[in-house]
Amino acid sequence: MFKIAVLVSGGGTNLQAIIDAIESGSLKDVSIVKVISNKEGAYALERAKQHGIEARCIRPKAYADRADYFRDMIDDINASGADLVVLAGFLVVLSGDFVSAFKGRIINIHPSLIPSFCGDGYYGLKVHEQALKRGVKVTGATVHFVDEGTDTGPIIIQKAVYIENDDTPEILQKRVMEQAEWKILPAAIQAIADGRVSIKDGLAYIEGSISTE
Amino acid sequence: MFKIAVLVSGGGTNLQAIIDAIESGSLKDVSIVKVISNKEGAYALERAKQHGIEARCIRPKAYADRADYFRDMIDDINASGADLVVLAGFLVVLSGDFVSAFKGRIINIHPSLIPSFCGDGYYGLKVHEQALKRGVKVTGATVHFVDEGTDTGPIIIQKAVYIENDDTPEILQKRVMEQAEWKILPAAIQAIADGRVSIKDGLAYIEGSISTE
């Protein structure tokens, strides 16, 4: 069984997509061993508990030092036995120590086609606001490995989503979630769990086919 | 009949896609009244002649002054009665005068999903080299109105193209042409000819549906 820890900050819709994929059997031989939120009362914690998954809130503000916060996170994730750390709407900027501790074993989902609309300041609804402001007709989502930069790591999967004339940031956010994020995040986890993802010259490749429909 | 002038620099595969769409009847009530190349011997000129289209080479170097070059181009296009100027692989940086002369009536095709891999220095094969270097899994093509900037004008249509593990810049360039460029350029021209494209607050919208399959 391939074990994952999922880090969240909010509602946890991507966490729910992973849970659903596991429960429906479309995501095979993968189990969520831990959910950690930086925010108390994040609904994601509730979702985890409803499905019998160990869930914990670790608040940065509860620590005198940021390094202590990440040290506790690293220890907690290591204790869970997780093979992979999945950032599923986790809005804390990671420390270099944290990234190093799970080098090549942290993935993130971003609601745009990187390198468009990504980097510092681009998260959540703001990504879709900026895409609509530029007037693009295609956007999408990206699952990538996390490195020291913001949204700069090797890209594992991307999926395109078409924009419609009367889209608002909210409508677009929902469509990108439904058509892209909830498909490619479980697909990326499955591919990694199957040992089909390799990194070569700083780029990620999936061997064989993947289903993101 | 909606009249277009097509500006080219090279082989003219996008010009051919427009010609094919007109001849097959998928692009309706549109005629190419002029093809202009900045390069002598561009195969695009040959393609035009083969289909009975007036074709001319206007070389910037033949003019003492760049303004004179663009003045001649403007006069030539105006004399042709073109309603729309289509840049189909035209590698000359346009002057402000030229852009002003056809304000809202010049479109360009770019072989990426703007705002990724566009701007100064991104043309032809280099676009695909950079996309592969970044390791994106989705790229595509964009048709946009031309404004004073490079690839900054209102986007009319975009289409996504998926990247494969063994893609080279050459293979990817061919796939982006076949799957995206040759579809969206005629589609954009048709929509403009039909009067279904409007610009609002600096962004372009197509009324009704378009076919880019």
Q: Residue A69: which CATH number?
A: 3.40.50.170
User: A158 and A184 in contact (C-beta within 8 Å)?
Assistant: yes
Q: In the predicted model, is pLDDT for residue A175 greater than 90?
A: yes
- The domain boundary residue, chosen from B103, B133, B151: B103
Q: In the predicted model, is pLDDT for residue B96 greater than 90?
A: yes
Distances in whole angstroms, Cα of residue B110 to Cα of each of A26, B162, B181 = 38, 16, 8
Does the beta carbon of A111 lie under 8 angstroms from any beta carbon of chain B? no
Confidence of residue B39 (pLDDT cuts 50, 70, 90): very high
- Identify the DSSP state of B111: S
Does residue B125 share a domain with residue B50? Answer: no
In the predicted model, what is the mean pLDDT of residues A28-40? 97
Does residue B156 share a domain with residue B75? Answer: no
Active site residue B110: yes
User: Which amino acid is located at B172 in the chain?
Assistant: L
- The domain boundary residue, chosen from B103, B118, B139: B103
Q: In the predicted model, is pLDDT for residue B150 greater than 90?
A: no
Residue range(s) defining the domain that contains residue A119 = 108-213
**CA-based radius of gyration for chain B:** 16
Does the beta carbon of B212 lie under 8 angstroms from any beta carbon of chain A? no
Q: Using alpha carbons only, what angle is made at residue B146 by residues A122 and B34, rounded to the nearest 5 degrees?
A: 150
Distances in whole angstroms, Cα of residue A60 to Cα of each of A134, B6, B130 = 35, 59, 38
Closest CA to A161 of A138, A177, A144: A138
Does the beta carbon of A149 lie under 8 angstroms from any beta carbon of chain B? no
Does residue B125 share a domain with residue B76? Answer: no
Does residue A174 share a domain with residue A113? Answer: yes
Does residue B119 share a domain with residue B99? Answer: no
Does residue B13 share a domain with residue B60? Answer: yes
In the predicted model, what is the mean pLDDT of residues B180-189? 98
**Residue keyed to tokens 């995040």:** A185
Confidence of residue A100 (pLDDT cuts 50, 70, 90): very high
Q: In the predicted model, is pLDDT for residue A96 greater than 90?
A: yes
Q: How far is CA B137 from the centre of its chain?
A: 24
Counting beta carbons within 10 angstroms of the beta carbon of residue B11, is it exposed (0 to 12), middle (13 to 18) or buried (19 or more)?
Answer: middle
User: A102 and A77 in contact (C-beta within 8 Å)?
Assistant: yes
In the predicted model, what is the mean pLDDT of residues A40-67? 95
Number of folded domains in chain B? 2
Does residue A143 share a domain with residue A85? Answer: no
Does residue A148 share a domain with residue A66? Answer: no
Does residue B54 share a domain with residue B93? Answer: yes
Closest CA to B58 of B36, B81, B29: B36
Does residue A94 share a domain with residue A126? Answer: no
What separation, in Å, do the N-terminal and C-terminal C-alpha atoms of chain B show? Answer: 24
Q: In the predicted model, is pLDDT for residue A13 greater than 90?
A: yes
In the predicted model, what is the mean pLDDT of residues B63-74? 96
Q: In the predicted model, is pLDDT for residue A84 greater than 90?
A: yes
Which letter, b or e, does each residue of B14-31 get, where b requires 16 or more Cβ atoms within 10 Å of its Cβ? Answer: bbbbbbebbeeeebeebe
Does residue B169 share a domain with residue B97? Answer: no
Confidence of residue B128 (pLDDT cuts 50, 70, 90): very high
Contact between chains at B113 and A136 (C-beta distance less than 8 A)? yes
pLDDT given at position A213: 79
Q: In the predicted model, is pLDDT for residue B213 greater than 90?
A: no
In the predicted model, what is the mean pLDDT of residues B163-187? 97
**Residue keyed to tokens 């403007």:** B74
Taking the C-alpha atoms of residue A210 and residue A82, their distance in angstroms, rounded to an integer, is: 23
In the predicted model, what is the mean pLDDT of residues B84-109? 96
Nearest CA in chain A to B160: A160
Global pTM value: 0.95
pLDDT given at position A164: 96
Q: In the predicted model, is pLDDT for residue A185 greater than 90?
A: yes
Confidence of residue B211 (pLDDT cuts 50, 70, 90): confident
Cβ contacts of B187 on chain A, cutoff 8 Å: none
Does residue A97 share a domain with residue A149? Answer: no
B117, B137, B144, B147: which to substitute to probe chain A, counting the most A Cβ within 10 Å? Answer: B137
User: B157 and B186 in contact (C-beta within 8 Å)?
Assistant: no
Taking the C-alpha atoms of residue A104 and residue A43, their distance in angstroms, rounded to an integer, is: 28
- Identify the DSSP state of B81: T
Instruction: Number of A to B CB contacts under 8 A, please give it.
Output: 61
Q: What's the mean per-residue pLDDT of chain B?
A: 96
Does the beta carbon of B199 lie under 8 angstroms from any beta carbon of chain A? no
Confidence of residue B212 (pLDDT cuts 50, 70, 90): confident
- The domain boundary residue, chosen from B70, B103, B136: B103
Distances in whole angstroms, Cα of residue B18 to Cα of each of B90, B112, B191 = 15, 19, 13
Q: In the predicted model, is pLDDT for residue B17 greater than 90?
A: yes
pLDDT given at position A104: 94
